[in-house]
A and B are shown apart, each in its own frame.
Chain A
Amino acid sequence: MKKIALAVGLVSLSIIAFAQKSSTDSIAEYRQMLQDGNPADLFEAKGEGLWTQKRGPKNASLEKCDLGKGPGVFKGVWVELPRFFADTGRVQDLESRLLTCMQELQGFDAQEIANTPFGRGEQSNVTALATWIAAESKGMKLNLPQAHIEERKMYEVGKRLFFMRGGSHDFACATCHAQDDKRIRLQDLPNITKNPGAGNGFGAWPAYRVSNGQMWGAQLRLNDCYRQQRFPYPIFGSDATIALGVYMGVNGKGGATVAPAIKR
């Protein structure tokens, strides 16, 4: 009760006295209130079900899917992605790797799913699966491999993409995400060039977006960054998106993951 009286007292101070610090504190308080009861749970449950469910033209489950630590292993795989896969000869992130498994094991057309708008049809299933698999690494530390030459090349490409200025507004990823203690409006912007920003940023997606009530995987997070950057449309699972994932994830090495998070 005393606490409430105090809060009311603070609010009744004039707008002028409403310091920026207290706005930031209030926002932090708001975010804290949302932590208990993250709707990402709903998508996590859906993803877990999809993993074992026999589906697709081949009527098979994903239980033999190799996400980097051998067929069927889902615990701890996400903190080591993106990584190089010998069978496809590509560095892949979680979502593009899931497409590979859905095509090889279940007989879906990976290209068709990649072309499906986010949140529709099989795309929403990919998001649910990614949410569950990320949750199976919750709290673990990011540990992306850099042993393979392709992984190291992708880091270098990712770095170049991160700093590339373009579009109608001359924005780069770095415009917002290369300095400490910056905000856009009231949202804190992680400095993705190093920890803790890189781990906190990269390690939070998939996340539930309260602003639109959608579950966003890392691919959609990047897609919307590029939209706001006024760039053209990054193709789902394309090498540019994966290279950026490698750059962010490697910079975040050692950072503990919180995905699936709840975000504005």
Chain B
Amino acid sequence: MQTRRETLKHSAAVASLLAATGLFPQYAQAFDKAAFDAKTINEAIKAMGGAVPVESKDVTITGPDIAENGAVVPFGASTSLPNVKRVLLLVEKNPSALVAMFNVSPEVEVNFATRAKMGQSSDVYAVAITNDGKAFFAKKEVKVTLGGCGG
């Protein structure tokens, strides 16, 4: 019997192959709903196959100290740790903590940047999950301000 994780891994590989061909838009998603529904940082990391995370200076999160608008907050997540299989970006106080997950391959650097929505000021986490399931994080506080005329 396949474990859930193996099924996931398998279908992810198939899905990416099919997605790359662009011919099968109806193909069932590999998208990990449980992880993206998780309310807390630790639940989301667990759903993504990581243990309870420990803070590490080898993981870096970049982002602004203050965001002029919570709709677009730029972040970068990177690590110098070896054997990393995935990198997560999480916003603690969002309704669902997990923003994005990146699967690492030997062909890419473990350094990803994207932009996230933030409902309010919060700690933001970059988490690196290694092949053996250990999780390491860096966090940063980001203040979200009210801007413009406010109307």
Which residues of A does B touch, CB under 8 Å?
1, 4, 7, 10-11, 23, 26-27, 29-31, 33-34, 184-187, 210-213, 227-228, 264
29 pairs of residues in contact across A and B, judged by CB atoms under 8 Å: A4-B60, A11-B65, A26-B64, A26-B65, A27-B68, A27-B145, A29-B64, A30-B65, A30-B66, A30-B67, A30-B74, A31-B68, A34-B72, A34-B74, A184-B149, A185-B148, A186-B147, A187-B68, A187-B148, A210-B69, A210-B71, A210-B72, A211-B71, A211-B72, A211-B147, A211-B148, A212-B71, A228-B149, A264-B69
User: Interface of chain B, helix or strand or loop or mixed?
Assistant: loop
Known contacts A185-B145, A264-B148; 20 further A-B pairs (Cβ under 8 A): A4-B60, A7-B65, A11-B65, A11-B141, A23-B66, A23-B145, A26-B64, A27-B145, A30-B67, A31-B68, A33-B64, A34-B74, A184-B149, A185-B150, A186-B68, A186-B147, A187-B148, A211-B71, A213-B72, A227-B151
Please indicate the chain A residues that have their CB under 8 angstroms from the CB of B115 in the complex: 34
Q: How many residues belonging to B are interface residues under a CB distance threshold of 8 Å?
A: 22
Across the interface, do B67 and A184 meet the contact criterion of CB distance under 8 Å?
A: no
Q: Decide if B146 is an interface residue (CB 8 Å cutoff).
A: yes
Q: In whole angstroms, what is the CA distance A221 to B151 when docked?
A: 14
Q: In whole angstroms, what is the CA distance A195 to B145 when docked?
A: 29
Please indicate the chain B residues that have their CB under 8 angstroms from the CB of A212 in the complex: 71
Q: Mark B80-108, 1 if CB is under 8 A from A, else 0.
A: 00000000000000000000000000000
Please indicate the chain A residues that have their CB under 8 angstroms from the CB of B69 in the complex: 210-211, 264
Q: B29-49: which have CB < 8 Å to A? A: none
User: Interface of chain A, helix or strand or loop or mixed?
Assistant: helix
Q: In whole angstroms, what is the CA distance A186 to B149 when docked?
A: 10
Please indicate the chain B residues that have their CB under 8 angstroms from the CB of A11 in the complex: 65, 141
Q: In whole angstroms, what is the CA distance A7 to B68 when docked?
A: 18
Across the interface, do A184 and B148 meet the contact criterion of CB distance under 8 Å?
A: yes
What is the chain B residue whose CB lies nearest that of A27? Answer: B68
What is the chain A residue whose CB lies nearest that of B72? Answer: A210
Please indicate the chain B residues that have their CB under 8 angstroms from the CB of A33 in the complex: 63-64, 74
Across the interface, do B151 and A228 meet the contact criterion of CB distance under 8 Å?
A: yes
Chain B min CB distance to A169 (Å): 11
Please indicate the chain B residues that have their CB under 8 angstroms from the CB of A264 in the complex: 68-69, 147-148
Chain A min CB distance to B21 (Å): 24
Q: In whole angstroms, what is the CA distance A23 to B141 when docked?
A: 14
Q: In whole angstroms, what is the CA distance A34 to B115 when docked?
A: 9
What is the chain B residue whose CB lies nearest that of A213? Answer: B71
Q: In whole angstroms, what is the CA distance A256 to B145 when docked?
A: 30
Across the interface, do A26 and B148 meet the contact criterion of CB distance under 8 Å?
A: no
Chain A min CB distance to B43 (Å): 26
Please indicate the chain B residues that have their CB under 8 angstroms from the CB of A34 in the complex: 72, 74, 115
Name the 7 nearest CB pairs between A and B, nearest first: A30-B64, A210-B72, A26-B66, A33-B74, A26-B65, A228-B149, A211-B69
Please indicate the chain B residues that have their CB under 8 angstroms from the CB of A23 in the complex: 66, 145
What is the chain B residue whose CB lies nearest that of A8? Answer: B140
Please indicate the chain A residues that have their CB under 8 angstroms from the CB of B71 in the complex: 210-213
Across the interface, do B149 and A30 meet the contact criterion of CB distance under 8 Å?
A: no
| Given A34-B74, A210-B71, residue A185 in contact with residue B147 (CB < 8 A) | yes
What is the chain B residue whose CB lies nearest that of A229? Answer: B149
Q: Mark B133-151, 1 if CB is under 8 A from A, else 0.
A: 0000000010001111111
Q: In whole angstroms, what is the CA distance A211 to B72 when docked?
A: 7
Chain B min CB distance to A211 (Å): 5
Please indicate the chain A residues that have their CB under 8 angstroms from the CB of B74 in the complex: 30, 33-34
Q: In whole angstroms, what is the CA distance A187 to B141 when docked?
A: 22
Q: In whole angstroms, what is the CA distance A34 to B151 when docked?
A: 24
What is the chain A residue whose CB lies nearest that of B57? Answer: A1
Q: In whole angstroms, what is the CA distance A264 to B146 when docked?
A: 10
Chain A min CB distance to B76 (Å): 9
